[in-house]
Structure 1
Amino acid sequence: MQYINLADNIYFLGYNDRRTNLFENIWPIPHGISYNSYLIVDEKITLIDTVERSFIDEYLESIEEIIGNRPIDYLVINHMEPDHSGALKAIVNKYPEITLVGNKKTFAFVESFYMEPENVHMVHDNDVLELGKHRLQFQTIPMVHWPETMVTFEETNNILFSGDAFGSYGTLDGGIFDDEINLDFYEIEVMRYFTNIVGKYCPHTQRAIKKLAPLNIKMIAATHGPIWRTDLDWVLTRYNKWSSYDLDKGVVIVYGSMYGNTQKMAEVIARRLAEKGIKNIRVYDASKTHSSYIINDIFKYKGFIVGSPAYNNALFPNVQTLLSTIEHMAPKNHYLGIFGNFAWNGGGVKNLKLFAENIKWEQVYEPIEEKGSLKKERKEELLKLADAMAEKLHADFE
């Protein structure tokens, strides 16, 4: 195997998944994803998290190649989600004297997923585990993004093993560290990972960032994506911005359309916004673009305008799916506009109004609904909706 060291006797054990199409069986990962585990060889040998179960054989072989017949003393469990705990049972079976290290919420997850743990060491905030030359300090960061989530800070080299926090979609294609890769590729994948996986818990992320600020972190080693050792601010500033709902000047327009009439309404709005000086405009057909990418831009831009035809007296299904996801994620600080179309009975705009009530974003203009093809009167209303949105955004970003 190739030995990749974060520091003396601290090893990266990472595996690239280029076969899985949907992460958590929901989110598209066309560029794959990595699963990162870490091994510290000292007087006490310690694993930091494990890997997804499909890599168990290779993972066990890599560990044995490094430590030989020595036992593993500790397995630190920062996060129990199966893509990181998938090899836990195999590790315990091979190293039966191993001690599982976690917080008060960790071991109930171990029992519910795998087995009743026998050897456990419970840690709390600021507790330290002595390995020899290396010292591990623990901090809980609940709901980033599971209730048991914690991070491990290796004090000797100032390495933060951060679990899912500061992670990314995308495989590690040769380059492991941030200074070995072109970060332009990860610009979207880091944000999409945040918005899809962690974005529901922005207030918790803010609390975690503040809690970890006193640590003298020199390297961040997450369980997905690159290891940050040169430009930590690249990922830290972005996480702070996204979790603060610090939005940019722009508008996301999403529509569903069966025969093109609702799409025409969206095009009118988009053109008017451009005429009014809005440069960041993203128009999406909800039937074509997965919500993963649309959610990403909603976390980026302050304006959101959504349109739906009536479909069996209800919302167009693909629009309904997106809006349910948005309500679940509950991003803040947006301006909202809604429009729609119907042929013989309403249902689209009526349900968009319910979305507006639930999400509690400020509506910039009254809902607009057309029957059949777009007519002059409704077109004028759409222009007014675009004008109102542009006016709000210009005022906010002067």
Structure 2
Amino acid sequence: MSFVIKAGVTWMGKVDWELRKFHGEEYSTHRGSSYNSYLIQDQKTVLIDTVWLPFAQEFVHNLKQTVDLSSIDAIVLNHGEQDHSGALPELMRHIPDTPIYCTANAVKSLKGQYKQDWNFNVVKTGGKLNLGKKELTFIEMPMLHWPDTMLCYLNEDNIVFSNDAFGQHYAAAQMYNDLVDQSELYEECIKYYANILTPFSKMVTKKINDIVALNLPIDMICPSHGVIWRSNPLQIVEKYAKWAADYQENQITVIYDSMWGETRRMAEEIAAGIQMSDPQVVVKLYNSSRTDKNDIITEVFKSKAILVGSPTVNRGILSSVAGLLEEIKGLSFKNKKGAAFGTYGWSGESPKLLGKFLAEAGFSTMENSLGNLWGADEAACREFGQRFSEYIR
């Protein structure tokens, strides 16, 4: 499959309808994904990125249907991770001397992964590659989301090839932002940002400012995953700027796991207390053992505050809660508040442990947690929810 996105620019990627997990088992892809590669044909022919390794032979076969491989003058690798570079070894078997343009960190990455010393050409921000009538300009984007990442800008056509930035894991037959379900697209974009780019928000802000300062006309943004932004393409840049600024909505998320239903009852009564205190706030409840962790993290990203609950088990907490909190800690959320609760049958350590987890993850925590012996005390839980609502105002 390939299609022309502008005269002389062809999409050469792969739509992966079956993908349900990414980065090993770390990221859920309920709506599949795509691996976007782009072919620019001017006086010189340049390929931007490839596809994931399982589709390498298919990719090279399809590329041959569009262009004589020996006519490819250069390959641009915006990022060395396998979902972008996986087909490179297969392609280089056919055109082994073709120059590869990438950052210095990408050279290290590609050499480390593929044990090949190809014809690497290191580029830096402001570097250019003349194609004839058109020109590519390179802009380094370190830690968006890897140290080796960059994007490139095609003048004349005003296209940004943004790699992982501004993308989403979303398979679509019509791969333009104005032709897909807008609510689905938004859900996948914010999930992608929340789970992958949140720790690098300061760098996102800096790079957006750097790009804006260049005053480049942008007619299209072509990421490496998901749809191409051709209708009001800067809308996703504006969303990134908003999400990078310690984003939060008027929402509280309650996360829990439960053995016999008592911690669940606590969560529900605490939520009722919050709603009694503030009917306008959105409250959402999630059982961490029964809900996709990336979906929960997206809700945490949207929230101004969270509450986390678990029964005490062997002087600790349930594994689903512990695992989720470890993920949350690594994402370094800012400007959010939290509190802990739990049930217990004899020792009762879970609320204190959860409160410590939240503090270590950077949440401002309410001083007193709530622990209930044996079961949920409805009145105490509702009062706790009301106090928490007052705490976060």
Alignment match, 2:194: 195
What secondary structure, in the 3-state scheme, does the structure 2 residue paired with 1:46 have? Answer: strand
Alignment match, 2:223: 222
Alignment match, 1:73: 73
Deviations 1:16-64 (CA, angstroms, capped at 9, x unpaired)? 1122321112112121111100001122211111101122222112221
Q: Percent identity?
A: 29
What secondary structure, in the 3-state scheme, does the structure 2 residue paired with 1:47 have? Answer: strand
Unmatched 5+ stretches in structure 2: none
- Aligned counterparts of 2:340 and 2:362: Cα–Cα separation in 1: 13
- Aligned counterparts of 1:133 and 1:158: Cα–Cα separation in 2: 13
What secondary structure, in the 3-state scheme, does the structure 1 residue paired with 2:118 have? Answer: coil
CA RMSD of aligned residues (A): 1.6
The question of whether the paired residues in 1 share the 8 Å contact of 2:50 and 2:85 is answered with yes
Alignment match, 1:113: 113
What secondary structure, in the 3-state scheme, does the structure 2 residue paired with 1:282 have? Answer: strand
- Aligned counterparts of 1:228 and 1:21: Cα–Cα separation in 2: 23
The question of whether the paired residues in 2 share the 8 Å contact of 1:335 and 1:389 is answered with no
Alignment match, 1:328: 330
- Aligned counterparts of 1:234 and 1:392: Cα–Cα separation in 2: 35
- Aligned counterparts of 1:67 and 1:281: Cα–Cα separation in 2: 54
Change (3 A) 1:370 1:392: closer
The question of whether the paired residues in 1 share the 8 Å contact of 2:152 and 2:162 is answered with yes
Alignment match, 2:6: 7
CA-CA distance at 1:392 after TM superposition: 4.7
Given the two structures, how large is their TM-score scaled by the length of structure 1? 0.94
Question: Quick one: which amino acid aligns to residue 166 of structure 1?
Answer: F
What secondary structure, in the 3-state scheme, does the structure 2 residue paired with 1:311 have? Answer: coil
Alignment match, 1:294: 296
Question: Quick one: which amino acid aligns to residue 343 of structure 1?
Answer: G
Question: Quick one: which amino acid aligns to residue 6 of structure 1?
Answer: I
What secondary structure, in the 3-state scheme, does the structure 2 residue paired with 1:332 have? Answer: coil
Alignment match, 2:234: 233
Question: Quick one: which amino acid aligns to residue 46 of structure 1?
Answer: V
**Paired positions, count:** 389
Instruction: For 1:385-396, list aligned pairs within 5 A.
Output: 385-393=384-392, 395=393
Alignment match, 1:349: 351
Alignment match, 1:282: 284
Question: Quick one: which amino acid aligns to residue 364 of structure 2?
Answer: E
Deviations 1:195-243 (CA, angstroms, capped at 9, x unpaired)? 1222222122112211211332221000001100112233122211212
Alignment match, 1:125: 125
Unmatched 5+ stretches in structure 1: none
Instruction: For 1:1-398, list aligned pairs within 5 A.
Output: 1=1, 3-25=2-24, 26-68=26-68, 70-172=70-172, 174-213=173-212, 214=214, 215-275=216-276, 276-375=278-377, 379-380=379-380, 382-393=381-392, 395=393
- Aligned counterparts of 1:233 and 1:383: Cα–Cα separation in 2: 44
CA-CA distance at 1:353 after TM superposition: 2.5
Question: Quick one: which amino acid aligns to residue 178 of structure 1?
Answer: N
- Aligned counterparts of 1:219 and 1:15: Cα–Cα separation in 2: 19
Higher mean C-alpha displacement, 228-237 vs 160-169 = 228-237
Given the two structures, how large is their TM-score scaled by the length of structure 2? 0.95
